[in-house]
Chains A and B, each alone.
Chain A
Amino acid sequence: MIDKHESIIIKTISRILAPFVQLYALYVIMHGHTSPGGGFQGGVILGASFILLAIAFGIDEVKERFAERILTTFTSMGVFIYGFIGFVCFVLGANFLDYGILPVVEPRGMGMLGIEIGVGITVMAVMVSIFYDLSTYE
């Protein structure tokens, strides 16, 4: 079990650092269209911020904030968003993942953004849940 890290420096730095890492991760997810990045890269950075907190403050501390149950729901929800967008296009008449049919102002761009968000959520939740599983070794 990764227990609390003694040195105060690490704890304070990681406490300060985490929100900015998460902010940057959201930026990377959202700006997948114009700048290099996208769902996967952003999701991994977001997951890394939680793992940073877990290493600095110990697993149990972060488990209260991000319980395993919520993690599993996040994992399934992200991919479900992806599949759901595909299904919406399918029900509206086009082929499975054809965003041109979506009733949105800029269908293709919005469709892709929705997918990037879904992928980002899944990758973040997967990274943290694999980290939980691999580190809880009795």
Chain B
Amino acid sequence: MNFYQVHFPILIVSVTLLFSFLIPVFGWWKKKLCYPLAIIAISISLFSSLIVANRVLYHGPIRYYLGGWEPPWGIEFYIDHLNALMVVLVTSISLLVLISSKKSIEKELPDKDVPFYSLFLLLFTGLAGIVVTGDMFNLYVFLEIASLSAYALIAIGEERAPYAAFRYVVLGTIGACFYLLSVGYLYIVTGSLNMADLNQILPNLYHSKVVLVAFSFFMIGIAIKMALFPLHVWLPDAYTYAPSPVSSLIAPLMTKVGIYVMIKIMFKVFEPSFSIEMLPVTTILSWVASIAIIVGCVLALAQVDLKRMLTYIMVAEVGYIVLGVAMANRNALTGAVLHIVNDALMMACLFLIVAAIMFKLGIRNIYELRFLHRKMPFTMGAFTIAALSMMGVPPACGFFSKWYLILGAIDANNWIFVAVILMSGLFNAILFFRVIENAYFEPAYAHDGGEHIEVSRDEAPLSLLIPILIMAVGIILLGIFSGKIISAFIQFIVPVSF
């Protein structure tokens, strides 16, 4: 392997880190240099993550030893098919959101854009680090970098943001400390912190009480981080009152990275057999997830604010993926991982659209979105595509992941879950048609006497619109090529024992 083939995994994380250190300095010196610097940093990361994903496809998992020490003693980056898929997802969505955040930041937070870009890069580095690292404690460090910058970015929002951010700090710290506690419980019994190493040592320790308690605290800690149903109280307030570019970065990625950590622990650190026979984890998780779907959709129905509705839909989407993971068979897990990718893309597109509407009209109430199809035709077009994909209409990507989830539920011959998935498709349909109907069709009373109101077309600015359109096209393309993604990446993720 030549020189540059080896070192790309570290480039993903360290380049944006070094640039985030430079940006506050440039802020004092040349203010307008910060945005291009951030763009360069994340595009370098995207470039190197694509190369890494390409090598993983052809040469199998990559191991990169930090500091030159071999794994149990030093820290290593372990990138296999699941990590490669997640890294490409995180970097591409962050780049698109960063491009669209320039205009809305200048409007909403005029004098705070220098620290904003620096924290944006740090949040991205935290997420990319969680997805890339192969060491349990290193994952905790990156988790803290991501959460710390998320707390601060949320706190600069509208009227209730500081209080929502403080609740997020308290709950996020409980989650992170439970994760750290279980790393300590595993360390005291096995003596090592490396995931691959733990995977070798743990199987003959499954009967010790310490490992059982460690696993349960892993699950509780990560459930808080990914806002699974009973522990999701911090999510709606935190994401609704955050500034719009921040929520369009955090919303799609933070929860998905939390689910990635759960999959990594359930299947890569502990054997899948542990969570099926040893502890009734899969049954508990699947029931909690199905309740999460129902509650998420019902609460979303009760919302008037478009952004708040999206946050509750996200709680339902987390329930989807956890249901797929908890059913523990080949189809369900394929559907779950595919749904991580699809849902991140759909949620990013929807939140960017909300950011565009907020930027142009400054309203979020669903019933005030009058004549939006004439005011902002492209944005509404993208909204319709994303909405159809959330509902699971074939060409778009949402259909395929739901399809595999239903197949998985049928394999697990648990008909309640099939009913839950189908019903939530219905809920999504009601939720999104309510918005589309308000935006597209004139109200009935306007026709009898009302003249045709001439509405000028003032579309969102280009830098906001292009990422939205790219994502909308991406949703369609992802749907068409989902078969290729499954055969390339997801096929290897599913453990052999399923």
A residues apposed to B, CB below 8 Å = 69, 72-73, 75-77, 79-80, 83-84, 86-87, 90, 93-100
The answer, among A93, A96, A100, for a CB contact under 8 Å with B66, is A96
15 contacts between A and B (CB under 8 A): A72-B25, A72-B27, A73-B25, A75-B24, A76-B24, A77-B25, A79-B21, A80-B18, A83-B21, A94-B68, A95-B67, A96-B10, A96-B66, A97-B68, A98-B67
- Shortest CB distance A125–B (Å): 11
- Cβ of B28 within 8 Å of any chain A Cβ, yes or no, is yes
Residue contact A76 to B14, C-beta cutoff 8 Å = no
> What residue of chain B has the Cβ atom nearest to residue A86's Cβ?
B14
- Which residues of B are found within 8 Å of A96, using beta-carbon distances? 7, 10, 14, 64, 66-67
- Interface residue? B65 (CB, 8 A): yes
Complex CA–CA separation, A94 to B67 (angstroms): 8
Q: Which residues of A contact B27 (CB under 8 A)?
A: 72
State whether A95 and B21 are in contact (beta carbons under 8 Å apart), knowing that A73-B28, A87-B14 are contacts in the complex. Answer: no
Top 7 A-B pairs, shortest CB-CB distance: A98-B68, A97-B67, A96-B10, A76-B21, A83-B18, A80-B21, A76-B25
Within 8 A of A (CB), among B47-103: 64-68
Contact string against A for B residues 2-23, beta-carbon threshold 8 Å, 1 for contact and 0 otherwise:
0100010010001001100110
How far is the CB of A124 from the nearest CB of chain B, in Å?
16
Inter-chain CA distance A86–B59, complex, in Å, is: 27
Interface core residue of A79, A83, A87 (most chain B CB under 10 Å): A83
CB distance from B165 to the nearest CB of A (A): 16
CB distance from A92 to the nearest CB of B (A): 11
A69 to B372 Cα, complex, angstroms? 45
Given A80-B18, A83-B14, A83-B18, A72 and B67 touching (CB < 8 A)?
no
Q: A87-B14, A90-B10 are in contact. Are A69 and B28 (CB under 8 A)?
A: yes
Residues in A with CB closer than 8 Å to B66 are: 95-97
Interface size on B, residues (CB 8 A): 17
Closest to B118 in A: A76
- Interchain CA distance A77-B27 in the complex, whole Å: 14
CA A100 – CA B68 in complex, angstroms? 9
Binding site for A on B (CB under 8 A): 3, 7, 10, 14, 17-18, 21-22, 24-25, 27-28, 64-68
Q: Which of chain B's residues has its CB closest to A101's CB?
A: B68
A95 contacts B65, CB within 8 Å? yes
Q: Which of A80, A86, A93, A94 is within 8 Å of B22, CB to CB?
A: A80
| A15 vs chain B, min Cβ distance (A) | 30
B166 CB, nearest partner CB in chain A, Å: 15
Which chain A residue has the least Cβ–Cβ distance from B69? A98
Contacts of B21 in A (CB 8 A): 76, 79-80, 83
- Please name all residues of chain A whose beta carbon is closer than 8 Å to the beta carbon of B24 when the two chains form the complex: 72, 75-76
Nearest CB in chain B: distance from A78 CB, A: 9
Task: Report how far A79 CA is from B19 CA in the complex, Å.
Answer: 11
Residue from B14, B17, B21, B66 having most chain A Cβ neighbours under 10 A: B21
In the complex, A87→B7 CA distance in Å? 11
Q: Are B65 and A87 in contact (CB under 8 A)?
A: no
CA distance A77 to B10 in the complex (A): 21
Residues on A with beta carbons closer than 8 Å to the beta carbon of B67: 95-99
Between B3, B65, B67, the greatest number of chain A beta carbons within 10 A of the residue's beta carbon is seen for B67
Residues of chain B within 8 A of A69, CB atoms compared: 28
Which chain B residue shows the least CB distance to A93?
B3
Q: Which residues of chain B are near A95, meaning CB under 8 Å?
A: 7, 10, 64-68
| Residues from chain B with Cβ under 8 Å of A72 in the complex | 24-25, 27-28
* A84: B residues at CB distance < 8 A: 18
CA distance A80 to B10 in the complex (A): 16
Which A-chain residue is minimally distant from B17 (CB atoms)?
A83
Q: How far is B74's CA from A98's CA once the two chains are assembled, in angstroms?
A: 11
In this complex, the member of A87, A94, A95 whose beta carbon has the largest number of chain B beta carbons within 10 angstroms is A95
Q: Which residue of B lies closest to A69 (CB)?
A: B28
* In the complex, residue of chain B having the shortest beta-carbon distance to the beta carbon of A70: B28
User: CA A96 – CA B68 in complex, angstroms?
Assistant: 8
Per the bound structure, the CA–CA distance linking A69 and B29 in Å amounts to 10
- A80 neighbours in B (Cβ, 8 Å): 18, 21-22
Nearest CB on B from A16, distance (A): 34
Tell me the nearest residue of chain B to A79, going by C-beta.
B21
Shortest CB distance B129–A (Å): 13
